Structure 1
Amino acid sequence: MQSETRKQLLKLFTEAGDTFLSGQKISEQLGCSRTAVWKHIEDLRREGFEVEAVRRLGYRLKQMPDKLNANELQLGLKTKRFGWNVYDQESVPSTQQLAHQLAHEGAEEGTIVIAEEQTAGRGRLNRIWHSPKGTGIWMSVILRPSIPPQQAPQLTLLVAVAVAQTIQEVTNIVPDIKWPNDILLNGKKVVGILTELQADPDQVQAVIVGIGINVNQKQFPNDIASLATSLAIETGRTFHRPKIVQTLLQKLEQLYEQYLQHGFLPIKLLWEAYAITIGQQIVARTLNGAVRGTALGITDSGTLKLQTEDGAIHYIYSADIEIKKQ
């Protein structure tokens, strides 16, 4: 966590853009001495920020490092709530684990937990999620929607849309979504999303959304190399990770507000525009066995609708989906 003074300073630099800010103006805005301003500037420099100082003009931020911490994430952040309460960690077993704890302790909606590395990152069904240091985005977001628990799976699809929109914006490549929330580029997984619930029988207390994005990895371990990819592998470029997080938080907040005001239908239509599953021959592997058939789409609640060869309709609430090659 960072001080309120540091948050205000980063907001000032964000609003100033390429304009210099005088030390006097900064001290007035922050309500602190010129000496304290200088100390804050020096702290930013030690953390890798390039702050230009020009006599009689003041200070201007020229460049920020590719670090996933509150300073970098909040400089230029355009959300109202999401991302303004940040728990940044160099290394954690799992951001989900810490986010669950914070949610139980009353952390506000829009709080994020983000780490440079996860040593025990996990996906659905407790699978390992490869989370090497300094290469990807490993984060969890705390939501507190006033919805009944049975509607919570809709948020999984909402997050998938926000991530897909973000990838499309930063790479100019349109990703695919495989139900419910696998994000694919050229058939390989680039993002994992894990949605978990804290709820009473009739009311959601918190939804903890874990998001893992493979950003700048150049290679993967042999056991997942044929299944996983990264933004860097697919584009031949490296990306500034804080900027991707900022874009994602902005899109997530917009979609979330739209969902709370207008329900799931607008999200459903957006999700279907990215969906690779619809119309495909698939195998849905559930806890009760495998179901083979054609994916017809999703219901208004987000459940997958599948038709088997005999014409029977099956509703899939949770499964691993394999798309059969035609």
Structure 2
Amino acid sequence: MKNQILKELYKAKDEYISGGRLSLKLGVSRNAIWKNIASLKKEGHIIESARNRGYRLLSSELEFSQTDLQVSISTKKIGKKIICFDEIDSTNNYAKKIACREEHGTVIIAERQTAGRGRRGREWVSPRNEGLWMSIILKPAIPSSEASKITQIAALSICNAIRELCKCEALIKWPNDIVINGKKVCGILTEMTGELGEISFIIVGIGINIKTREFTEDLSAIATSLLIESKTEVSRKELFLRIMEKFEKYYESFIENVSLESIVPELRKYSALVGKEIIVVRGNKEIYAIAKDITSEGELSIETSEGEKIILNSGEVSIRRKNGYV
């Protein structure tokens, strides 16, 4: 009910909308409208009430509230249900616990993670109110061998959203990082559960440093934030909405064709690695190579210092530039 009322207030913009009109529109009593308006005010939405005129939404102190996000989102399935936490150990952990009973496209967001993690179990620092820490539950009807490609879909969605909103030269460090000026601003962790080649669900975990002003000494050489790079405050809400819209568009195309063909040109265009000298880490072994291309399957094509040509799958390696992180 609150979401429906808030949506009507948003649509009215700066105009008043009467309790009677809301009551008629939503098929509930005026008293129910009044109670829900009071609840929205407690959540931080600034709603003006005027006798004989009705209600008008002025602003919201909680631009990242569950209600606000669900009212604002325009996607069909991705993000239509949003679950928000003030604090949680890990959005990916929680997503995996509820995935079987939740609908496809459900998004879990936390203001702070106490045990955020990246690939290979690495810690992901997730301070309160400083970033976008979230996970998306997906239930695609595709072979499990195709699951890793969804990381590329997420990477391009985030890269393009950042480039549009922040005017920063964001690039994709294959397979799962977004970098700006050689430093990591976003990490993606894709996890799959299934059996006998069939997928039960996929969790796409996303962590984006947005408002962080400084990092610890051990991270400052490799990490950055949108605030540091753009020199301006970035709306978490607007970034979230743009990522969801782009992700749904790319994801639907991928599911329909079981192919990344439509986005591979952009994956190549925004690659932070293609044409660069890199070090590929496989277990305890390091391979010195040049990144040659992103294949039509979203894999990384490399040529080693011995001249051997290898196609890398995202799940098997860790990569860094020969001189520095990227």
TM category, shorter = over 0.9
Task: Check the 8 A contact 2:133/2:208 in 1, yes or no.
Answer: yes
C-alpha distance in structure 1 between counterparts of 2:281 and 2:66, whole Å: 40
Q: Which of residues 295, 306, 311 is equivalent to 1:310?
A: 306
Task: Check the 8 A contact 1:20/1:58 in 2, yes or no.
Answer: yes
Task: Check the 8 A contact 1:100/1:208 in 2, yes or no.
Answer: yes
Read off the aligned partner of 2:160 and give its amino acid letter: Q
Q: Which of residues 221, 225, 242 is equivalent to 1:247?
A: 242
Name the SS of the counterpart of 2:311 in structure 1.
Answer: strand
1:77 partnered with 2:73:
yes
Q: Which of residues 167, 175, 180 is equivalent to 2:162?
A: 167
C-alpha distance in structure 2 between counterparts of 1:246 and 1:103, whole Å: 22
C-alpha distance in structure 1 between counterparts of 2:71 and 2:42, whole Å: 16
Task: Check the 8 A contact 1:151/1:301 in 2, yes or no.
Answer: no
Task: Check the 8 A contact 1:141/1:210 in 2, yes or no.
Answer: yes
Q: Which of residues 15, 19, 22 is equivalent to 2:18?
A: 22
Task: Check the 8 A contact 1:13/1:75 in 2, yes or no.
Answer: no
Name the SS of the counterpart of 2:279 in structure 1.
Answer: strand
Task: Check the 8 A contact 1:66/1:242 in 2, yes or no.
Answer: no
Q: 1:204 to 1:288 in 2, by over 3 A?
A: farther
1:257 partnered with 2:255:
no
Q: Which of residues 186, 192, 198 is equivalent to 1:203?
A: 198
Q: Which of residues 211, 233, 244 is equivalent to 2:228?
A: 233
C-alpha distance in structure 1 between counterparts of 2:174 and 2:125, whole Å: 21
Q: Which of residues 75, 79, 95 is equivalent to 2:91?
A: 95
Read off the aligned partner of 1:45 and give its amino acid letter: K
C-alpha distance in structure 2 between counterparts of 1:294 and 1:83, whole Å: 38
* Residue 321 of structure 2: aligned partner: 323
| Superposition misfits of 4+ residues, deviation over 4 angstroms | none
Q: 1:261 to 1:16 in 2, by over 3 A?
A: farther
* Residue 299 of structure 1: aligned partner: 295
Structure 1 residue ranges without an equivalent (≥5): none
Moved more, 184-193 or 296-305: 296-305
Deviations 1:116-153 (A, max 9, x none): 10000000110000001111111000111111011111
C-alpha distance in structure 2 between counterparts of 1:207 and 1:39, whole Å: 39
Structure 2 residue ranges without an equivalent (≥5): none
Moved more, 91-100 or 235-244: 235-244
C-alpha distance in structure 2 between counterparts of 1:257 and 1:16, whole Å: 32
* Residue 60 of structure 1: aligned partner: 56
1:123-138 to structure 2, matched below 5 A, reads 123-138=118-133
Give the percent of matched residue pairs that are identical in Structure 1 and Structure 2.
Answer: 36
Task: Check the 8 A contact 1:175/1:274 in 2, yes or no.
Answer: yes
C-alpha distance in structure 1 between counterparts of 2:111 and 2:99, whole Å: 21
1:158-197 to structure 2, matched below 5 A, reads 158-197=153-192
* Residue 286 of structure 2: aligned partner: 290
C-alpha distance in structure 2 between counterparts of 1:15 and 1:253, whole Å: 24
Q: 1:141 to 1:117 in 2, by over 3 A?
A: same
Q: 1:17 to 1:247 in 2, by over 3 A?
A: farther
What RMSD in Å do the two structures reach over aligned CA positions?
Answer: 1.7
Name the SS of the counterpart of 1:245 in structure 2.
Answer: helix
State the 1:252 CA deviation.
1.0
C-alpha distance in structure 1 between counterparts of 2:113 and 2:132, whole Å: 10
* Residue 219 of structure 2: aligned partner: 224
State the 1:107 CA deviation.
0.8
State the 1:224 CA deviation.
0.6
- TM-score, L = length of structure 1: 0.93
Q: 1:266 to 1:97 in 2, by over 3 A?
A: same
C-alpha distance in structure 1 between counterparts of 2:182 and 2:54, whole Å: 50
C-alpha distance in structure 2 between counterparts of 1:217 and 1:99, whole Å: 25
Moved more, 120-129 or 286-295: 286-295
Task: Check the 8 A contact 1:109/1:143 in 2, yes or no.
Answer: yes
- TM-score, L = length of structure 2: 0.93
